[in-house]
Amino acid sequence: MRNTTTIALKEFKSYLASPMAYVVTGIFLVFTGFFFQSSLTTYSETSIGGFLVWGSILLLLLAPVLTMRLLAEEKKMGTLELLLTAPVRDNEVIVGKFLGSLGILTAMLALTFYYPLLLMWFGDPDWGPIATGYLGLFLLGGASLAVGLFASSLTSNQIVAAVVAGGVLFALWFVGMAADLLPEAMGEVIGYLSLSSHFPDFMRGMIDTRGIIYYLSITVLFLFLAIRSLENSRWS
């Protein structure tokens, strides 16, 4: 646990020391702010729906950018050698790095919190969908970071890591659309496996345990794969 915290803090600090996290957060805030505002004026309802819809898609784009350096850079620079020869378990390395990036995601989401505060200032928003919406974004973001971390464990090239992660995430997101074209039973299975099919429930204010379990499973699965991939590097 101590090692995990040490690594998580180190990663969080190095995000803060590099421009990447600021650029990503900036882009996230500018675009979600724009869509929040435009959905307000278009539908004139006190909801953060516009922010949630576009925020979820932006997360899929931006999570790979946040995670691409986590392991790929260490491989390229050779610093992984010192990390893996320290008395630290491979799972502590992966979970630590994941928590570091989750810290940045949390900070990013916290900075958007003035959207619902604005609604409260000018109106009387329904806090249920806002709370579950944030929970959904957090879970989806976490799963995306886990996919990104796994992609980063595969290569020493950051761009490749980002592209692979983006590809996996978009495939998982859009596979839900293919579900409609398939026979009922199969469509249901494929639909369940899609990142996108669980998000609307969170937006509507529902806490769907299936959705929570789904996002957590994706997170755990990809963290597990990243650990295996790291272990595997010792056997090259």
Partner 1 sequence: MIRVENLTKYYGKHLAVDNISFNVERGEVVGFLGPNAAGKTTTMRILTGFLAPTRGEVWVAGYDMSKHSLEARQRIGYFPEAMPLYSDMTVRSYLDFSSRLRGLDKNRIKTRIEEVVDICHLEEYIDVLIGKLSKGFRQRVGVAQAIIHEPEVLILDEPTIGIDPIQVAMTRQLIKELGKERTILLSTHILPEVSVTCDRVIIINEGKIVAEDRIENLSSLVSGSKRIRLEVEGPAEKVAERLRQIEGVFQVSYEDSHYIVECSAGQDPRGKIMETIVQGGWTLLSLESIEMSLEDIFLKLTTEEETSQ
76 vs 204, beta carbon nearer partner 1 = 76
Give CA–CA dist 85/233, Å, rounded.
Answer: 13
Beta carbon of residue 221, minimum distance to partner 1 (angstroms, whole number): 25
Contact 46, 127 (CB under 8 A): no
Beta carbon of residue 143, minimum distance to partner 1 (angstroms, whole number): 27
Which residues contact partner 1 by CB under 8 A? 2-3, 6-7, 10, 13-14, 17-18, 77-79, 81-89, 234-236
Beta carbon of residue 6, minimum distance to partner 1 (angstroms, whole number): 4
96 vs 129, beta carbon nearer partner 1 = 96
Beta carbon of residue 90, minimum distance to partner 1 (angstroms, whole number): 10
* Residue positions counted in the chain: 236
84 vs 193, beta carbon nearer partner 1 = 84
82 vs 185, beta carbon nearer partner 1 = 82
Of the candidates 205, 209, 7, 149, the residue with the CA atom closest to the CA atom of residue 89: 7
Beta carbon of residue 184, minimum distance to partner 1 (angstroms, whole number): 48
46 vs 157, beta carbon nearer partner 1 = 157
Amino acid at 214: Y
Q: Which residue has the tokens 């957090």?
A: 138
The counts of H helices and E strands in the chain are 12, 0
Q: Cβ neighbours of residue 152 under 8 Å, at least 6 residues apart?
A: 67, 68, 69, 70, 71, 72, 158, 161, 165, 226
Contact 148, 161 (CB under 8 A): yes
